[in-house]
């Protein structure tokens, strides 16, 4: 009896410590059935993966306002059951962090916050995934990254990180009620540079947004301006989407400009599941090969899909 009582006391004492730690499993499966045309050639109808993933994230309260946490995220393709996004198993995210009232120190591998603060907000209809994803934003995605995220100062928050290959990223966001703004600057190996600004606003059932990007010396292509406009109108469970983007001509490549536009309709079956359809088209000038992979060839896609979050 004494041993049982002692074990009960130990378990009771340990319970608060265990209660301070939590792990969450999350993910998304997102698949479309598509009809695709590249130039004058029509491809076979096909299923397409739209950035499906599964992830794990956890946090432990260390006391005194200090917390430690992690996030691991694996990209997968539901159409064939294989991994997506390269040879790394945790190919989308791999991070260990330590944070407190002074901010958060991050170490690992993640999508650059310069993108998350700007272009990520604008292609709203399918979370900037699949063949209708924004084809014009350019950025860096480096490993061995060390970053620092500030606490929120009223409406503002900023982040800076450095990574292998002499990659530097600096970003910031601000929120003022219905209005939100973001900015990001990247530099890779002292040469390739990009700067982007983003703004979006909500007016009742309408959401509108836009971003502008300036890229310089990008992989010897020269300089280029690009921008994108997007809008969404919600009506009950329906969302009606439209966006258009323009990529200017690279200064070292004549006739390398292009346009892209997408029209889409989403229907929310629940908070986690939606069905949707869209038409997306990329029009390339003679020396541009965005999405098509063939200089001067346009890309046209009609798709219907299902997206489920868990």
Q: What is the pLDDT of residue 11?
A: 40
**Residue 52 CA from chain centroid, whole number:** 12
Examine the pLDDT at 279 and tell me if it is beyond 60: yes
For 166, list phi and psi in degrees, rounded to 5: 55, 50
Bridge partner list, 97: 69, 106
How many CB atoms sit inside 10 A of residue 259's CB?
A: 17
pLDDT category of residue 189 using cuts at 50, 70 and 90: confident
In the block, tokens 């038409």 appear at 279
Q: What is the pLDDT of residue 142?
A: 84
How many CB atoms sit inside 10 A of residue 23's CB?
A: 11
In this structure, of 9-13, 82-86, 156-160, 303-307, the range with the lowest mean pLDDT score is 9-13
Query: What mean pLDDT comes out for the span 129-139?
Result: 95
In the DSSP assignment, the letter for residue 9 is: H
Instruction: Please state, in angstroms and rounded to a whole number, the distance separating the CA atoms of residues 242 and 265.
Output: 9
Give the residue from 57, 26, 251, 30 showing the smallest Cα distance to 130. Answer: 30
Q: What is the pLDDT of residue 2?
A: 41
How many CB atoms sit inside 10 A of residue 235's CB?
A: 8
**Residue 124 CA from chain centroid, whole number:** 11
- Contact partners, residue 77, CB within 8 Å, separation at least 6: 49, 52, 83, 84
3-state secondary structure of 158: strand
3-state secondary structure of 5: helix
Q: Tokens standing for 197?
A: 């600004």
Bridge partner list, 298: none
Q: What is the pLDDT of residue 6?
A: 42
Residues 112 and 88: beta-carbon distance below 8 Å:
no
CATH superfamily of 23-309: Porin (2.40.160.10)
In the DSSP assignment, the letter for residue 132 is: G
Examine the pLDDT at 12 and tell me if it is beyond 70: no
Return the sign of the alpha-carbon dihedral for residues 212, 215, 216, 222.
negative
Q: Where are the domains of the chain?
A: 23-309
Residues 129 and 51: beta-carbon distance below 8 Å:
yes
pLDDT category of residue 17 using cuts at 50, 70 and 90: very low
Q: Tokens standing for 127?
A: 């979370």
Q: Are strands 21-38 and 82-83 parallel, antiparallel or unpaired?
A: unpaired
pLDDT in tens, 193-239: 999 999 999 999 999 999 999 999 988 899 999 999 999 999 999 99
For 15, list phi and psi in degrees, rounded to 5: -55, -45
Examine the pLDDT at 20 and tell me if it is beyond 80: no
CA angle, residues 210, 216, 219, in degrees to nearest 5: 115
């Amino acid at each position: 009896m004494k041993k049982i009582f002692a074990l009960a006391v130990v378990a009771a004492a340990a319970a608060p410590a265990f209660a301070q730690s939590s792990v969450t499993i999350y993910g998304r499966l997102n698949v479309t059935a598509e009809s695709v045309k590249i130039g004058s050639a029509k491809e076979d109808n096909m299923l397409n993966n739209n950035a499906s993933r599964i992830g794990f994230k956890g946090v432990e309260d260390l006391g005194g306002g200090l917390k430690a946490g992690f996030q691991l995220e694996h990209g997968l393709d539901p159409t064939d059951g294989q991994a997506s996004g390269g040879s790394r198993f945790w190919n989308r995210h791999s991070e260990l962090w330590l944070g407190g009232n002074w901010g958060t120190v991050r170490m690992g591998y993640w999508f650059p916050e310069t993108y998350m603060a700007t272009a990520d907000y604008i292609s709203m209809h399918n979370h900037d995934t699949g063949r209708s994803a924004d084809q014009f934003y350019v950025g860096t995605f480096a490993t061995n990254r060390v970053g620092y995220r500030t606490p929120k100062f009223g409406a503002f928050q900023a982040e800076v990180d450095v990574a292998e290959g002499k990659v530097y990223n600096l970003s910031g966001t601000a929120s003022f009620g219905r209005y939100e703004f973001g900015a990001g600057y990247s530099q890779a190996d002292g040469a390739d540079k990009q700067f982007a600004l983003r703004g979006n606003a909500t007016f009742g059932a309408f959401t509108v947004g836009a971003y502008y990007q300036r890229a310089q010396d990008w992989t010897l292509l020269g300089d280029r301006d690009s921008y994108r406009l997007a809008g969404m109108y919600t009506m009950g469970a329906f969302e009606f989407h439209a966006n258009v983007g323009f990529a200017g001509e690279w200064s070292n490549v004549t006739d390398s400009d292009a346009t892209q536009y997408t029209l889409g309709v989403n229907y929310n079956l629940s908070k986690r599941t939606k069905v949707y359809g869209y038409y997306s088209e990329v029009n390339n000038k003679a020396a541009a090969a965005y999405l098509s992979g063939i200089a001067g060839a346009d890309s046209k896609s009609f798709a219907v899909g299902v997206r489920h979050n868990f």
